[in-house]
């Protein structure tokens, strides 16, 4: 019978040695503790079988309970770790304290009745054994062991159902040692005298955990990736500590930077001029700005990408790592692609500009056609476009006033693209009049309420036409500005305008600028139903309208533009 325990002890030693041979620093520490404690526990069983007196037997039993009290703890903690369930520190500490309380009672065996009420030694069939009656601490130990097994199974079942980042095969494998260990505590009583199930279950657990750690190596993408890069032979690594001392390099690193062969490990790398001008120079840039971590290095018609990152020992930074990859083919391809893209971009830009110009000419032609139908607004398109340009010129002069620019445009100032788009969109503001009946559009006198409602429809109709024509041109910024100018140039700051009754900053800024130009031209130009106002009268009306009809913040630009506007209309001669 003693051979049974000797064989199991020997197997546990062999399996632990196998584990050590394949051990990796990323293995869970609890699995390592399992492989360390199982041979100790099985040694206790072997000593008990060979014992010939009570003292030796009591010592052996205490050794066996190292497994009973702590292995279930380690199995439980390894399950939580492998299932990617993070126990809080106080939880992990609590489980450890339970095991230590249990083992403290084990240590009292032979000195107090807490674990064994009575105990005596006998030799049966050539093996030493203890005959005992159990105390409350023994029952407490079994309760703690049961608790560990239950929460372990809860964690595994939860992971099977909910967790996608854990292999189901690994979870199923974990169930075996947990279940066998649990059963061994309770079925041992039904085995023949002298045969204990626990040491066998421990060896079984070792076998299962060896299978698990082998599978874990396949799931460790980081380590597999690094090993693959190193073995592939075209990726270099160079390590330097925080004091710029050279720590080491692989063969590729030495080949790209052969000067490293002249530097002793753990000595200052800056003593070599070539290294100081390359690696350490790049490292200084990285220290100042960690985003500056990519550099290119040319050697023998090859282009190498040097990537700098921190060198870690576990979770602790210990220096810097230089990753070297041959990027020659990629750089040549990128250069070829860039040249092709440049040519393609030029061609696309030319075609796009042709399309945009075609649309603009179409819109301008339609606007001119509409104006020719309206016998009251001759030259209005050209004049309002020029007025808009004059106003924008004055706004651009004020770009230093960031507060006013921010309030008006939500930015520090006008962009050239926005200015160009507003000026270009100005001629299209009345395009919707193409849908207004001639009887209304060409009426020389004042509109009736019904006629006025028909006339007001031109704003929304103009937006629809502009949107339809510009759709798909690729110039979304101009598209938006042109639609807004056509749609909202009759809106008023106080909300009394049309077609939507927008108020204040609800009105797009381009439409607010257009409104100022549109009204000013209407005042100082002759129409069939009125004579033109004098500049003074027109100015009084305009100034009175800021804050009601127009955005008050545009007043300063109108005032500064007024001399140019008056000069412009004087030169128009009408």
3-state secondary structure 117-176: EEEEEEEECCEEEEEEEECHHHHHHHHHHHHHHHHHHHHHHHHHHHCCCCCHHHHHHHHH
Percent of the chain surpassing pLDDT 90: 26
Write down the pLDDT at residue 336: 72
Residue 538 burial class via C-beta count within 10 angstroms: exposed 0-12, middle 13-18, buried 19 and up: buried
Distance from C-alpha of 303 to C-alpha of 331, rounded to nearest angstrom: 8
Write down the pLDDT at residue 224: 46
Which has more confidence, 377 or 566? Answer: 566
| pLDDT of residue 494 exceeding 90 | yes
Q: Span 360-372, mean pLDDT?
A: 61
Residues near 210 by beta carbon (within 8 Å), at least 6 away in sequence: 15, 18, 19, 22
554: helix, coil or strand? helix
**Cβ atoms of 511 and 487 closer than 8 Å:** yes
Write down the pLDDT at residue 467: 87
> In 163-278, which residue ranges form alpha helices assigned H by DSSP?
168-187, 198-219, 221-232, 251-256, 273-277
Distance from C-alpha of 539 to C-alpha of 179, rounded to nearest angstrom: 94
Indicate the pairing of strand 235-241 with strand 316-326. antiparallel
Residue 272 burial class via C-beta count within 10 angstroms: exposed 0-12, middle 13-18, buried 19 and up: buried
Write down the pLDDT at residue 363: 61
Q: Exposure string (b/e) for 399-437, b if CB count within 10 Å is 16 or more?
A: eeeeebbeebeeeebbeeebbebbbbbbbbbbbbbbbbe
Of the CA atoms within 13 Å of residue 558, those in its CB half-sphere come to 25
Write down the pLDDT at residue 221: 43
| pLDDT of residue 411 exceeding 70 | no
Distance from C-alpha of 530 to C-alpha of 546, rounded to nearest angstrom: 23
Residues near 281 by beta carbon (within 8 Å), at least 6 away in sequence: none
Q: What tens digit of pLDDT does each residue of 503-537 get?
A: 999 999 999 999 999 999 889 887 766 778 899 99
Which of the listed CATH numbers 3.50.50.60, 3.40.50.2300, 3.40.50.1970, 3.30.450.20 matches domain 234-326?
3.30.450.20
320 confidence band (pLDDT: 50, 70, 90): very high
Average pLDDT, the chain: 82
Write down the pLDDT at residue 129: 83
Write down the pLDDT at residue 53: 92
Class of domain 2-219: mainly alpha
Q: What tens digit of pLDDT does each residue of 242-285 get?
A: 999 888 888 888 889 999 888 887 788 888 888 888 999 999 99
| pLDDT of residue 427 exceeding 50 | yes
Q: Exposure string (b/e) for 50-69, b if CB count within 10 Å is 16 or more?
A: bbeeeeebbebbbbbbbbbb
Distance from C-alpha of 462 to C-alpha of 376, rounded to nearest angstrom: 19
Percent of the chain surpassing pLDDT 70: 81
Which has more confidence, 543 or 2? Answer: 543
Write down the pLDDT at residue 573: 61
**Cβ atoms of 44 and 64 closer than 8 Å:** yes
Write down the pLDDT at residue 79: 87
CA-wise closest residue to 298 among 257, 334, 262, 338 = 257
Distance from C-alpha of 196 to C-alpha of 18, rounded to nearest angstrom: 25
- CA end-to-end distance (rounded Å), the chain: 125
Which has more confidence, 337 or 212? Answer: 212
Distance from C-alpha of 302 to C-alpha of 329, rounded to nearest angstrom: 9
Write down the pLDDT at residue 227: 53
Q: What tens digit of pLDDT does each residue of 328-350 get?
A: 877 777 667 666 666 776 766 66
Residue 27: DSSP 8-state: S
Write down the pLDDT at residue 409: 64
Q: Span 98-114, mean pLDDT?
A: 91
Q: What tens digit of pLDDT does each residue of 529-541 get?
A: 677 889 999 999 9
Q: Around Cβ 128, how many Cβ atoms within 10 Å?
A: 21
Q: Specify the CATH number of the domain 342-572.
A: 1.10.3210.10
Which phi and psi angles does 244 have, rounded to 5°? 65, 25
Sequence ranges of the domains in the chain: 2-219, 234-326, 342-572
Q: Around Cβ 123, how many Cβ atoms within 10 Å?
A: 12
Stretch among 223-237, 252-266, 290-304, 490-504 having the lowest mean pLDDT? 223-237
374 confidence band (pLDDT: 50, 70, 90): low
Stretch among 129-143, 355-369, 464-478 having the lowest mean pLDDT? 355-369
């Amino acid at each position: 019978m003693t051979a049974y325990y000797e064989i199991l002890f020997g197997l546990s030693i062999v399996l632990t040695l196998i584990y050590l041979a394949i051990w990796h620093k990323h293995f869970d520490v609890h699995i390592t503790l399992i492989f360390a404690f199982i041979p100790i526990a099985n040694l206790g069983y072997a000593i008990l079988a060979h014992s010939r007196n009570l003292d030796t037997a009591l010592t052996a039993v205490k050794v066996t309970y190292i497994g009973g009290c702590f292995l279930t703890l380690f199995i439980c903690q390894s399950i939580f770790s492998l299932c990617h369930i993070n126990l809080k520190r106080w939880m992990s500490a609590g489980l450890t304290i339970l095991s230590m309380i249990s083992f403290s009672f084990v240590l009292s065996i032979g000195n107090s009745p807490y674990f064994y009420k009575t105990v005596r030694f006998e030799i049966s069939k050539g093996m030493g054994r203890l005959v005992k009656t159990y105390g409350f601490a023994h029952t407490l130990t079994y309760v703690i062991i049961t608790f560990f097994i239950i929460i372990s199974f809860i964690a595994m079942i939860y992971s099977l159902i909910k967790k996608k980042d854990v292999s189901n095969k690994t979870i199923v494998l974990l169930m075996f040692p947990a279940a066998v260990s649990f059963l061994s505590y309770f079925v041992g009583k039904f085995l023949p005298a002298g045969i204990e199930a626990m040491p066998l279950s421990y060896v079984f657990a070792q076998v299962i955990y060896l299978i698990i750690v082998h599978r874990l190596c396949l799931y460790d993408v980081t380590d597999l990736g690094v090993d693959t890069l190193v073995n592939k032979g075209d990726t270099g690594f160079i390590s330097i500590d925080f004091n710029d001392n050279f720590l080491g390099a692989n063969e590729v690193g030495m080949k790209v930077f052969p000067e490293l062969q002249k530097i002793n490990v753990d000595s200052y790398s800056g003593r070599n001029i070539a290294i100081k001008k390359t690696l350490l120079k790049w490292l200084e840039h990285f220290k100042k700005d960690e985003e500056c971590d990519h550099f290119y290095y040319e050697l023998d018609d090859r282009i190498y990408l040097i990537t700098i990152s921190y060198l870690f020992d576990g979770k602790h930074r210990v220096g810097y790592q230089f990753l070297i990859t041959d990027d020659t083919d990629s750089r040549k391809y990128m250069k070829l692609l860039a040249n092709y893209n440049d040519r393609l971009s030029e061609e696309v830009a030319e075609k796009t500009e042709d399309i945009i110009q075609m649309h603009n000419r179409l819109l301008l032609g339609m606007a001119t056609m509409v104006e020719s139908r309206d016998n009251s607004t001759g030259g209005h398109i050209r004049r309002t476009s020029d007025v808009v340009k004059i106003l924008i010129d004055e706004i651009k002069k004020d770009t230093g006033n960031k507060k006013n620019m921010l309030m008006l445009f939500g930015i520090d100032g006008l962009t050239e693209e926005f200015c160009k788009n507003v000026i270009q969109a100005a001629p299209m503001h009345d395009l919707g009049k193409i849908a207004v009946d001639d009887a209304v559009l060409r009426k020389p006198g004042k509109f009736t309420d019904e006629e006025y409602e028909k006339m007001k429809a031109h704003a929304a109709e103009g937006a629809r036409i502009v949107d339809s024509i510009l759709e798909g041109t690729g110039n979304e910024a101009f598209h938006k500005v042109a639609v807004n100018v056509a749609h909202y140039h009759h809106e008023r700051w106080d909300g009394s305008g049309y077609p939507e009754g927008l108020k204040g900053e609800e009105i797009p800024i381009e439409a607010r600028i257009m409104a100022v130009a549109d009204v000013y031209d209407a005042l100082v130009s002759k129409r069939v139903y009125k004579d033109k106002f004098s500049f003074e009268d027109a100015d009084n009306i305009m100034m009175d309208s800021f804050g009601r009809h127009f955005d008050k913040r545009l007043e300063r630009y109108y005032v500064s533009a007024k001399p140019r506007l008056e000069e412009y209309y004087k030169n128009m001669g009408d």
